[in-house]
Amino acid sequence: MIGVFALALFTVAAAQQPAQLVIANVRVFTGERSIERATITVADGKIVRVTADSPANTGVTIDGAGKTALPGLIDSHIHLLEGTTEAETLTFIKDRLPERLQSFLRHGVTTVRSAADPTELILKVRQDLRDGTLAGPRLLAVGPAFTSPGGHPVGTVCRGSDWCRANLAIEVDSEQEARRHVRRLVKAGVDAIKLVHGKLAGSPWESLRIEVMQAIVAEGRAMGMPVMAHVQDESSILEVLAAGVSSVEHGPIEPPTSNAIAQAFKNSERPMVPTLAMRALMPPQVSQAKLQAVAELVKAGVRIVLGSDTGGPLPPGLATVQEVEALVEAGLSQEAALRAATSDAAAHLALEKEIGRLEAGMRADILLVRGDPLRNIADLHQVDAVVQRGKVVFRREP
């Protein structure tokens, strides 16, 4: 497989950019607070300072008048690769992956976590991004999802494809088997573990047995590996939170029947990643119920981290921005929604010492937009420039 996949490498021409970059006269959202007028100085891929001083006469200066600089957006739940057979997936990597990665950058998304991919292929893409042979956002890789025999994605996405079943899912029904597969993935080098727990009314498969789900979480935690839980029904949300998962992905698709979920979230101090962008693919009644469910948890003070569930028909990058807008629709303030996509997301992914804030010493991943998304969240669509690791990777035409 690797021999074939090696043909899918794409060399990115090294941009001739100076070591120092200055963005002057710009409004700044640091990821935690706003500064009405400042200058950002970047050198060697990191932010040197954010000050109210006049810019130095060295390096490249971007005039930030009328614009807002904020940390590059972080999408903690996407699906990067596509295909239900090996041939389809390799063709996608060769023909469509580079454009998908560029689309994230064009919308200011500089970090993503991909949930449920073939281990070998997604780790190869991650390495190519790190090496610079492929251009795109920083990638955190999860690998296949733990599920019950025949459960999602086996009985849904992978239906009829043995390759998909073997590479996108790990079907487990014993604690010993679950722990062994967790150790195998950690040894392979994944950034997180994902499990699918619970079921929706009418679904044909059984949930993970409680003790198997608990074994996955316990083994992940013992190895210092976060465990994200795909879960949508009320009782299963309570079960995964009690087991100690790192996050609840998707969350309730219907308004909670009591305050038990909100209290469990707050007691565990774990966030929900609501993936509201997927509402665009739901029937109107289901979409509205999902929004109401998230709105109730937001009102109750549940911590929210951004994840769009981008994949399939959802447009890369654009869906991330739409997710920020949806969080505002669900009741977060515009500042809180931006934190969910920057500093809060970075902390959730244990990257808070590298990204998610615009301050000295941090990686220079910067989104520059025209207008002020702190007042009008839709201004996130007005991307002027994107800086990744100190280099301008996208600039809007004048």
Q: What is the DSSP letter of 31?
A: S
| Predicted confidence (pLDDT) at residue 16 exceeds the cutoff of 90 | no
Is 11 part of any domain?
no
Look at the pTM and tell me if it is higher than 0.75. Answer: yes
**103 and 230 belong to one structural domain:** yes
Which domain, by its residues, includes 387? 17-71+357-395
The alpha carbon dihedral of 340, 355, 221, 146 has a sign of positive
DSSP string, 132-154: TSS-SSEEEE--SEEE-TT-TTT
Are residues 300 and 364 both part of a single domain? no
Q: Are 37 and 27 in contact (CB under 8 A)?
A: yes
CA–CA gap between residue 75 and residue 10 (Å, rounded): 23
Q: What is the pLDDT of residue 18?
A: 58
User: What is the model's pLDDT at position 4?
Assistant: 35
Residues 114 and 257 in one domain: yes
Residues 27 and 40 in one domain: yes
Task: Of 347, 398, 388, give the one whose Cα is nearest residue 366.
Answer: 388
Beta-carbon contacts of residue 342 (< 8 Å; ≥ 6 apart)? 29, 31, 70, 71, 72, 73, 74, 356, 357
For position 34, which CATH number holds?
2.30.40.10
Q: Are 195 and 46 in a shared domain?
A: no
Higher pLDDT, 169 or 6: 169
What is the total count of domains within the chain? 2
pLDDT of 11 reads: 29
The tokens for 109 are: 């998304």
- 60 and 32 in a single domain? The answer is yes
Residue 12 domain-assigned (yes or no): no
192 shares a domain with 153: yes
Same domain, 66 and 80: no
Given a cut of 70, whether residue 2 has pLDDT beyond it is no
Output the pLDDT for position 314: 95
Residue 114 lies in a domain: yes
Q: How far from 233 is each of 144, 218, 250, 253, CA to CA, in Å?
A: 22, 22, 10, 7
The verdict on 187 and 292 lying in the same domain is yes
Residue 52 banded pLDDT, cuts 50, 70, 90: confident
The mean per-residue pLDDT over the stretch 210-236 comes to: 96
81 and 40 together in one domain: no
Domain of 294, CATH number, reads 3.20.20.140
- The answer to whether residues 247 and 367 belong to one domain is no
Average pLDDT of the chain is 92
Do 34 and 139 have their domain in common?
no
The answer to the question of residue 3 being in a domain is no
Tell me if 1 is assigned to some domain: no
Alpha helices in the chain (DSSP H): 2-5, 86-95, 97-106, 119-131, 162-168, 175-188, 210-222, 234-243, 260-268, 284-299, 318-329, 334-340, 343-348
Answer yes or no: is 4 within a domain. Answer: no
* Lowest mean pLDDT segment, chosen from 106-110, 194-198, 204-208, 282-286: 204-208
Q: Is pLDDT above 80 for 169?
A: yes
pLDDT at 202: 60
